């Protein structure tokens, strides 16, 4: 039963972290103190790692650029992927880093001031890591959906507005 409640609380918070323990208690049919204690325990266990606000920067006329970078690497030793990851995630420009299966090993999500800024970062920092064999950079043009939220705007007639 407690595991089910934990899942419910986590699912609710993942969708809307602004809800209070009292609101979550009503939604889960439990009491506020139980929810507050559970959230505190989940934070201490490192299961809840932070609370974030999803912002549609395109509407804020933000000129920053987002890019996805594929890295193919040759890890050294048994802990090679972790050592490479530690080098990469230290950079503040790196928003997300995943170890992947498939044609490449790492997927890096970067945010920079310009295409040139990201290009320089990739060539001077990522590509210069000894274990990196190759990189492929993809710049984000339009975000339609992010973290389950539809960012696409629709005209009154139902057609999507496309802007670059």
- Residue 134 and residue 51: Cα distance in Å, rounded? 34
For the chain, domain boundaries: 2-44, 57-146
- Report pTM: 0.75
Residue that is written with structure tokens 């190759």 in the block: 134
Taking a C-beta distance cutoff of 8 angstroms, is the pair 33, 41 a contact? no
Report the CATH architecture of 2-44.
Orthogonal Bundle (1.10)
> In the prediction, which pLDDT does 161 show?
57
Q: Average pLDDT of 89-116?
A: 95
pLDDT tens across 3-33, in order?
A: 899 999 999 998 889 999 999 999 999 999 9
CB 97: neighbour CB atoms within 10 A? Answer: 18
CATH of 57-146, one of 3.40.1520.20, 3.40.50.800, 3.10.20.30, 3.30.70.920: 3.30.70.920
């Amino acid at each position: 039963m407690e595991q089910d409640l934990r899942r419910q609380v986590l699912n609710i918070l993942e969708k809307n972290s602004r809800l209070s323990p009292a609101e979550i208690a009503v939604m889960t049919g439990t009491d506020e103190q139980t929810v507050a204690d559970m959230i505190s325990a989940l934070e201490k266990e490192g299961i809840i790692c932070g609370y974030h606000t999803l912002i549609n920067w395109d509407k804020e006329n933000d000129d920053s650029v987002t890019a996805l970078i594929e890295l193919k690497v040759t890890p050294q030793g048994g802990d090679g992927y972790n050592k490479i990851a530690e080098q990469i995630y230290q950079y503040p420009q790196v928003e997300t880093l995943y170890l992947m299966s498939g044609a490449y090993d790492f997927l890096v999500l970067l945010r920079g001031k310009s295409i040139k800024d990201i290009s320089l970062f990739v060539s001077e920092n990522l590509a210069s890591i000894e274990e990196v064999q190759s990189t492929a950079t993809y710049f984000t043009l339009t975000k339609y959906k992010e973290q389950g939220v539809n960012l696409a705007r629709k005209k009154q007639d139902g057609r999507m507005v496309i802007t670059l």
